[in-house]
Amino acid sequence: MTRPDPLRPRLTHAYMNLGQRIWASVPIADLPGTIRGEHWPIRPETPATFPPPRQAGGSLISDLDQTRERLVAALPEAFPATGVTELRDIRVSGMHGWAVTADQVVVEDTSWNGSRFATQVRDPFLPPRSKRLGGTTLLLCTEYARSNYGHALYDLFPRVDLFERSGIGYDSVDQILCNLRERNRPLLEQLGVPLSKVVWMKSPITYRTERLLVTSFPGVPKIIAPWSAEFLRERLGVAPDGSGRRLYVPRRSHHRAIANEADLLPILTRHGFEEFDPGRSAGSSRAVFAAAELVVGGHGAGLADLIFSPPSASVMEIIPTAHAQPYFLAAAAAAGIDHRYVAAESLMTHHPNDPRGRQADATVDLDVFEAALEELVAERS
């Protein structure tokens, strides 16, 4: 096993700190007219509705003051209006795809953190090395797309739909900046993006653009909008690999792993579940999810393709108590899929703004899990 180089992160951090610091953030609508050019509105603001979270087992995951279920507290009341906007003389960070003004202010729509950018992003620096891009540049980026398939699928790919609906067209674009990881680039091509025009952003560099086309954030961070799910199902959907499959999607990561997963596997096997790890599968994960009848899995990007499951499917998500996020509750709602959850007790207490609790592994009560699984199977029968 290769040991991680402890010097590399320190050198990278020191190098990044030689660049210009980003001091604030601003939404596109509040940018001055000297920066903001033409705007193409795509969708108006629409109300957001979700079915009540369905607790299948385990403790209720409440917010800090114990007044309401935390999954409900994180759901928005509306999906904001979307569009495409022309920006002038903007710099783009090659690590994350942030669009930044000459005054070192990030455009919130280009960051997953949005209006929380200033409080949530530590040490936001623009890399000192720069490259000039003349003409018109389309920005197809989102934070975490370089490392996380779920963020690429939910936060980046729907921006293609917004750009297409603007009517601008790829012929009017000189280059496209994108920070998608290599293994997911064929999906971008499948969506009709001309890869010959793409500048892949994977190194610490600042791009100085002449005319930049920026889309709104598609939906709300952590929440995929129904139109995004419809677009993805229509453009990336594939024929199912079988039918009536019962999937268990493992969560084996260096953080938020299910610590007693080995004890869950015999229970799942008795109820006809097969283990399916999308990250290690040679076939199409979308095709497997499209054939799913029941899906059980730990919270993580492995569940992202559940939006390709048929509306008759049901998903039971194992959610750690210190990281209760509504990603897949919202994804299931957008795709018309039944969703329920089992709480798994995190092995470290969660405190606000402390990532250690949110990254902690979690354990599932075996009796609670088996009872919830039996109920899930019985409903299907």
> Which spans in the chain are helix H?
7-16, 70-73, 117-120, 149-151, 158-166, 185-190, 226-236, 261-270, 285-290, 327-335, 355-359, 366-380
Quick one: CA dihedral 256, 111, 184, 223, positive or negative?
positive
Contacts of 38 by beta carbon, 8 Å cutoff, 6+ apart: 85, 86
CA dihedral 79→314→317→257, nearest 10 degrees, is -120
- Domains of the chain with bracketed CATH: 8-45+81-220 (no CATH), 237-380 (3.40.50)
pLDDT score of 79 more than 90:
yes
Please give the pLDDT value at position 83.
97
Range scoring the smallest mean pLDDT among 60-69, 197-206, 239-248, 370-379: 60-69
Compute the C-alpha angle 64/66/72, nearest 5°: 85
Confidence of residue 7 (pLDDT cuts 50, 70, 90): low
Average pLDDT, rounded, for the chain: 89
Confidence of residue 184 (pLDDT cuts 50, 70, 90): very high
Please give the pLDDT value at position 2.
40
Please give the pLDDT value at position 64.
46
CA distance 69 to 318: 16
Q: What is the pLDDT of residues 96-123, one digit of tens each?
A: 899 999 999 999 999 999 999 988 888 8
Of 376, 228, 372, nearest to 314 by C-alpha is 376
Average pLDDT on 67-93 reads 88
Q: Give the CA count within 13 Å in the CB-facing half-sphere of 27.
A: 11
Question: Which has more pLDDT, 7 or 207?
Answer: 207
Please give the pLDDT value at position 361.
83
Quick one: CA dihedral 58, 62, 68, 69, positive or negative?
negative
pLDDT score of 65 more than 50:
no
CA distance 320 to 208: 42
pLDDT score of 12 more than 60:
no
Average pLDDT on 125-129 reads 90
Q: Quick check: 286 and 184 in contact, CB under 8 A? A: no
Q: Quick check: 241 and 309 in contact, CB under 8 A? A: no
Question: Which has more pLDDT, 58 or 246?
Answer: 246
Quote the tokens at residue 356: 């250690």
Please give the pLDDT value at position 4.
47
Quote the tokens at residue 54: 């369905």
pLDDT score of 32 more than 50:
yes
Please give the pLDDT value at position 231.
98
String of DSSP letters for 346-359: ESS---TT-HHHHH
Contacts of 71 by beta carbon, 8 Å cutoff, 6+ apart: 53, 61, 319, 324, 325, 326, 329, 341
Pairing of strands 206-215, 82-88: antiparallel
Quote the tokens at residue 214: 């920026």
Residue 359: how many CB atoms within 10 A of its CB? Answer: 17
Judged by DSSP in three states, 309 sits in: coil
